[in-house]
């Protein structure tokens, strides 16, 4: 029997019972649509996060403070113990998670990084590190005229602007001379400037940060926001001025840019060895700092997204099993209804193989139709969800091929038994069937 004839007969049988065929296909549409939506959304999130990290640079390394305490404390408890300092404490058991939160959620440990650490990292040489900047952050009362806002203020080195890719929109950035002289100057990111000054000119105006007066010398150009932080909320001071105003002697973070991607791992190892020696720590497990590269975080994110996508896809696969059972049920009903037809076909010479292929083709076509419609439905759902969280939708060819393959496989697996049952019917008994 020709393939074209098989397909023609299959479509004839399918359209002879439109409502039943639609309900049969619906289970496959839901299953495939769920799988496509989850895979597409997972790929979209991964792609967006990858783009955000690429804007930071894949050679970035961040050294974060990590408070070492006998008992792990909650973030809220740490905040309470530090009073109004704006510096929150987490226990040593948080490990790498501590560093992640410090980078992206504004939650930081007690400062543990020293100027000796900062100078030591700079001393590794330009063949290993190109830019280094310490950071000390605090939530402070920022006052301009009658406006009083609680904002995060960060003390940094001149290199920080290069590391973060900031560009000046108005005025100037502070200089190495400002660092050395502990100048009371401040550079505002675009949103911080708007929050404090609105449409007014901010350059040369004076603001008060924790009762210390600072002159605004520059405003930064607006930067694209990432999924983790808003760089346009920054208020940046020379780090010696910040240490003095915050009454601190240590840094919360040291940002480092390695000379190239290939040596990031070795530079991380050298920084760890250097800081362990500076802090007189023998066991690296007792370190009061964490070192995280942007590639480490990207790998962790990709691993997490892969696991989540796999779990949700497996859950969505239950819908496919249910849809497959529906296919089997409908095909068994179809075999019963068409028993006389099967007997007649066998009586005029149709072989067991022909009957088997006829019913199997119907099953596969039903599932393939459901698969193709499911791809469209899944892509539509993922597009709507992506727009709601402001990311770009990604639908890979692999996902489409996977969906078509799965739907075809479901048709074969769940259609095989009804087709085999039809093919095994005795033609005499089939012709007698009422």
Residue 379 lies in domain: 3-49+300-432
In this prediction, residues 279-290 reach a mean pLDDT of: 88
The verdict on residue 159 lying in a domain is yes
Segment 296-351, tens digit of pLDDT: 777 777 777 778 777 777 776 777 777 788 788 878 877 777 777 777 777 777 77
Six-digit token string for 23: 């309900």
The verdict on residue 279 lying in a domain is no
Mean pLDDT score of the chain, rounded to an integer? 79
Claim to verify: residue 32 and residue 123 sit in the same structural domain = no
The answer to whether residues 237 and 154 touch, using CB atoms and an 8 Å cutoff, is: yes
Six-digit token string for 110: 């007690």
- Model confidence at 16: pLDDT above 90: no
Segment 234-283, tens digit of pLDDT: 999 999 999 998 888 899 999 998 888 888 889 999 999 999 999 998 88
Which pLDDT does position 104 carry in this prediction? 41
Place of tokens 């049969």: 24
The answer to whether residues 67 and 117 touch, using CB atoms and an 8 Å cutoff, is: no
Cα separations (Å) of 268 from 115, 120, 173, 302, 338? 18, 13, 29, 21, 72
Claim to verify: residue 76 and residue 44 sit in the same structural domain = no
Sign of CA dihedral 243, 246, 250, 253: negative
The answer to whether residues 374 and 28 touch, using CB atoms and an 8 Å cutoff, is: yes
pLDDT band at 217 (very low <50, low <70, confident <90, very high): very high
- Model confidence at 165: pLDDT above 50: yes
Six-digit token string for 106: 């504004």
Claim to verify: residue 108 and residue 222 sit in the same structural domain = yes
Residues 6 or more apart in contact with residue 198 via CB below 8 angstroms: none
Claim to verify: residue 196 and residue 338 sit in the same structural domain = no
The verdict on residue 278 lying in a domain is no
Claim to verify: residue 107 and residue 87 sit in the same structural domain = yes
The verdict on residue 288 lying in a domain is no
The answer to whether residues 399 and 43 touch, using CB atoms and an 8 Å cutoff, is: yes
Between 229 and 222, the more confident residue is 222
Residues 6 or more apart in contact with residue 283 via CB below 8 angstroms: none
Claim to verify: residue 20 and residue 39 sit in the same structural domain = yes
Claim to verify: residue 125 and residue 15 sit in the same structural domain = no
Segment 185-208, tens digit of pLDDT: 999 999 999 989 988 899 999 999
pLDDT band at 91 (very low <50, low <70, confident <90, very high): very low
The answer to whether residues 145 and 138 touch, using CB atoms and an 8 Å cutoff, is: no
- Model confidence at 101: pLDDT above 50: no
| Paired residues of 140 in beta bridges | 151
The answer to whether residues 137 and 153 touch, using CB atoms and an 8 Å cutoff, is: yes
Last residue of a domain, one of 202, 230, 259: 259
How far, in Å, CA of 279 to CA of 112, rounded? 9
Tell which residue, 350, 367, 347, 342, has the closest CA to residue 422: 342
How far, in Å, CA of 360 to CA of 354, rounded? 10
The answer to whether residues 60 and 294 touch, using CB atoms and an 8 Å cutoff, is: yes
Last residue of a domain, one of 202, 233, 259: 259
The verdict on residue 343 lying in a domain is yes
How far, in Å, CA of 263 to CA of 126, rounded? 12
Which pLDDT does position 102 carry in this prediction? 41
Claim to verify: residue 172 and residue 113 sit in the same structural domain = yes
Claim to verify: residue 231 and residue 314 sit in the same structural domain = no
For 421, other C-beta atoms within 10 Å of its C-beta total 17
Residues 6 or more apart in contact with residue 16 via CB below 8 angstroms: none
Claim to verify: residue 12 and residue 146 sit in the same structural domain = no
How far, in Å, CA of 103 to CA of 386, rounded? 25
Six-digit token string for 211: 């009762």
Claim to verify: residue 224 and residue 327 sit in the same structural domain = no
How far, in Å, CA of 310 to CA of 293, rounded? 26
Last residue of a domain, one of 235, 259, 283: 259
Segment 396-432, tens digit of pLDDT: 777 788 778 877 888 788 878 777 877 777 766 666 6
How far, in Å, CA of 267 to CA of 270, rounded? 5
- Give the chain's domain count: 2
The verdict on residue 292 lying in a domain is no
Between 154 and 398, the more confident residue is 154
In which region does residue 112 sit, left (phi positive, over 0), alpha (psi from -120 to 50) or beta (all else)? alpha
The answer to whether residues 365 and 355 touch, using CB atoms and an 8 Å cutoff, is: no
CA 186 from chain centre, in angstroms, equals: 33
For 391, other C-beta atoms within 10 Å of its C-beta total 18
The verdict on residue 281 lying in a domain is no
CA atoms within 13 A on the CB side of 160: 28
The verdict on residue 294 lying in a domain is no
Claim to verify: residue 98 and residue 163 sit in the same structural domain = yes
């Amino acid at each position: 029997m020709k393939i074209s004839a098989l397909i023609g007969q299959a479509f004839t049988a399918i359209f002879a019972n439109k409502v039943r065929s639609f309900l049969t296909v619906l289970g496959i549409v839901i299953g495939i649509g769920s799988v496509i939506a989850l895979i597409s959304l997972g790929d979209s999130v991964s792609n967006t996060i990858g783009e955000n990290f690429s804007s930071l640079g894949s050679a970035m390394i961040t050294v974060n403070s990590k408070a070492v305490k006998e008992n792990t404390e909650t973030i809220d408890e740490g905040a309470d113990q530090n009073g109004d300092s704006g510096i929150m404490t987490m226990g040593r058991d948080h490990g790498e998670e501590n560093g992640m939160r410090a980078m992206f959620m504004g939650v930081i440990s007690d400062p543990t990084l020293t100027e000796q650490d900062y100078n030591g990292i700079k001393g590794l040489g330009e063949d290993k590190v190109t830019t280094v900047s310490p950071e000390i952050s605090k939530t402070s009362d920022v006052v301009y005229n009658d406006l009083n806002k609680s904002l995060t203020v960060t003390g940094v080195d001149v290199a920080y602007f290069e590391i973060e890719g900031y560009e000046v929109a108005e005025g100037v950035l502070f200089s190495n001379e400002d660092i050395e002289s502990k100048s009371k100057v401040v550079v505002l990111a675009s949103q911080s400037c708007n929050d404090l000054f609105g449409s007014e000119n901010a350059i040369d105006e004076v603001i008060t940060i924790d009762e210390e007066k600072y002159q605004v010398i520059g405003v930064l150009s607006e930067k694209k926001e990432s999924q983790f932080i808003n760089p346009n909320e920054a208020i940046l001071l020379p780090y010696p001025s910040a240490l003095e105003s915050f009454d601190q002697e240590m840094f919360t973070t040291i940002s480092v840019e390695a000379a190239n991607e290939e040596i990031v791992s070795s530079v991380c190892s050298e920084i760890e060895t250097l800081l362990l020696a500076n802090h007189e720590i023998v066991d690296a497990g007792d370190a009061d700092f964490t070192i995280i590269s942007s590639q480490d975080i990207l790998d962790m994110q990709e691993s997490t997204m892969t696991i989540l996508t796999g779990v949700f896809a497996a859950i969505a696969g239950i819908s496919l099993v249910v849809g497959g059972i529906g296919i089997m049920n409908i095909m068994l009903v179809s075999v019963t209804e068409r028993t006389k037809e099967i007997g007649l076909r066998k009586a005029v010479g149709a072989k067991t193989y022909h009957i088997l292929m006829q019913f199997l083709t119907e099953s596969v076509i039903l599932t393939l139709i459901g698969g193709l419609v499911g791809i469209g439905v899944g892509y539509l759902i993922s597009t709507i969800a992506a727009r709601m969280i402001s990311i770009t939708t990604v639908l890979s060819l692999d996902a489409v091929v996977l969906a078509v393959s799965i739907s075809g496989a479901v048709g074969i697996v769940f259609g095989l038994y009804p087709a085999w049952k039809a093919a095994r019917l005795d033609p005499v008994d089939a012709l007698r069937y009422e």
